[in-house]
Chain A
Amino acid sequence: NIVMTQSPKSMSISVGDRVTMNCKASQNVGNNIAWYQQKPGQSPKLLIYYASNRYTGVPDRFTGGGYGTDFTLTINSVQAEDAAFYYCQRIYNSWTFGGGTKLELK
Chain B
Amino acid sequence: QVQMKETGPGLVQTTQTLSVTCTVSGFSLTSYGVHWVRQAPGKGLEWMGIIWGDGSTNYNSALKSRLSISRDTSKSQVFLTMNSLQTDDTAVYYCAEGTMVHWGQGVMVTVSS
Question: Are the CB atoms of A46 and B101 closer together than 8 Å?
Answer: yes
Interface of A is mostly: loop
In the assembled complex, which residues on chain A have CB atoms less than 8 Å from the CB atom of B96? Answer: 43
In the assembled complex, which residues on chain B have CB atoms less than 8 Å from the CB atom of A44? Answer: 37, 45, 94, 100, 103
Whole-angstrom distance between the Cβ of A23 and the nearest chain B Cβ: 12
Q: Which of chain B's residues has its CB closest to A95's CB?
A: B47
Q: Which of chain B's residues has its CB closest to A93's CB?
A: B58
- Rounded to whole angstroms, the CA-CA distance of A94 and B61 in the bound complex is 9
- Rounded to whole angstroms, the CA-CA distance of A85 and B42 in the bound complex is 11
B45-69 interface with A by 8 A CB criterion = 45-47, 50, 58, 60-61
A64 part of interface (Cβ distance < 8 Å): no
- Rounded to whole angstroms, the CA-CA distance of A1 and B62 in the bound complex is 10
Question: Are the CB atoms of A97 and B46 closer together than 8 Å?
Answer: yes
Question: Are the CB atoms of B44 and A97 closer together than 8 Å?
Answer: yes
Whole-angstrom distance between the Cβ of B103 and the nearest chain A Cβ: 4
- Rounded to whole angstroms, the CA-CA distance of A100 and B46 in the bound complex is 11
A65 part of interface (Cβ distance < 8 Å): no
Whole-angstrom distance between the Cβ of A90 and the nearest chain B Cβ: 9
- In addition to A38-B45, A44-B37, A44-B100, 7 A-B residue pairs with Cβ atoms within 8 Å of each other are A36-B100, A43-B94, A87-B45, A97-B45, A97-B47, A100-B44, A100-B45
